[in-house]
Amino acid sequence: MVVKILTSLFVFITFGLCATSISKPIHAQEGINVSPVVIEEEANPGDVLDLKIKILSGEDTTLYTYPVDFKAGQEETGVPQFMPSDEEGGQYSLSKWIKLGSEPIDFKAGEKKEIPVRIEIPANAEPGGHYGAVIISIQDINARKTGMNIAGEVGTLILIRVSGAIKEEGSLVEFKTAKPWYEKMPASFVMRFQNSGNVHLKPFGNIEIFSLAGKKMATLQVNPNFGNVLPDSIRKFTNEWKVEKAGIIPLMGKFSAQLLISYGAGQTAEETVYFWIIPYKWLIAVFGGVVVLIGLVVVFGRKFKIVSKQ
């Protein structure tokens, strides 16, 4: 059996997660689709959650399932870092609570199957977030334990919030423009948010752009897909201000960008930055055109006077 492997990273839609580079990436396998991509649940200590994951195979194959933990990486991009199969994620571990069938699953081309996933929350479970993934792979768990990057993996992320002493603590680390001034649009903005609590947070809000005269120019949504920031990590969010039709005269001058975000139980953070738009090439062209025009007026004016005297 020949399986064609795409090298793209595991992509998360409704959420991204807090962090970063993947040391052992989940690869997307052509012909195998898994849904949902992300599961988020709330639970109490001692609860048992019965979940379902749907798998659609585009070809004849045998697949293996196993749980792993994930955590925030170091690149602040929202991409998770998956733990080796024989390691756990410490305080935020979930994989040891995930119960799956031990037998491989055979698929015919075009066949869809639903696999049960049971999560058994211990009675003494630590409150806060717990993070794991169900991996669906063309190779068994022993291959993953060798430390190899295994191609042909897809999976579902699972985020569980266990009730108890929840700490929703976060802070705005940085808000800035990518550059202090721009020749032309778009203008880019970067927000870095730190989660210092014990459960995932979804910072969201707006950036409002104002001209020097106080006119509101635009409103940009921050984290419109409600991406998560995992505990003990920083995640970077970016925005762009684009102007589709600037008219004959481009935007120019000094502008302010006012950020206001909310997170957790009604907590907020705000910051304002300033930047310039200086279309210097356009200004040089206009200035040069004006100089040429003045020169022509002067030259033709002198010739007109000479002709008039004659």
* pLDDT in the model for residue 84: 79
* pLDDT in the model for residue 145: 59
Among candidate residues 35, 37, 32, 33, the one with its CA nearest the CA of residue 14:
37
Query: Which of 10-14, 199-203, 269-273 bottoms out in mean pLDDT, i.e. has the lowest?
Result: 10-14
Q: What is the pLDDT of residues 36-59, one digit of tens each?
A: 999 999 999 999 999 999 999 988
Q: What is the pLDDT of residues 88-109, one digit of tens each?
A: 768 999 999 999 988 899 999 9
**What band does 83 get if pLDDT is binned at 50, 70 and 90?**
confident
Backbone angles phi, psi at 146, to 5 degrees: -70, -10
Q: Is the pLDDT of residue 214 over 70?
A: yes
Is the domain spanning 170-278 CATH 2.60.40.10? The answer is yes
Q: What is the DSSP letter of 74?
A: S
**What band does 279 get if pLDDT is binned at 50, 70 and 90?**
confident
Rounded CA separation 68/18 (Å): 17
Give Rg (Cα) of the chain.
28
* pLDDT in the model for residue 29: 52
Rounded CA separation 231/112 (Å): 35
Query: Which of 2-6, 178-182, 256-260 bottoms out in mean pLDDT, i.e. has the lowest?
Result: 2-6
**Domain boundaries 5-162, corresponding CATH code:** 2.60.40.10
Q: What is the pLDDT of residues 188-199, one digit of tens each?
A: 999 999 999 999
Among candidate residues 251, 258, 259, the one with its CA nearest the CA of residue 276:
251
* pLDDT in the model for residue 31: 79
* pLDDT in the model for residue 240: 96
Cβ-based neighbours of 116, under 8 Å, separated by 6 or more:
50, 51, 52, 101
Task: In the chain, list all ranges with CATH 2.60.40.10.
Answer: 5-162, 170-278
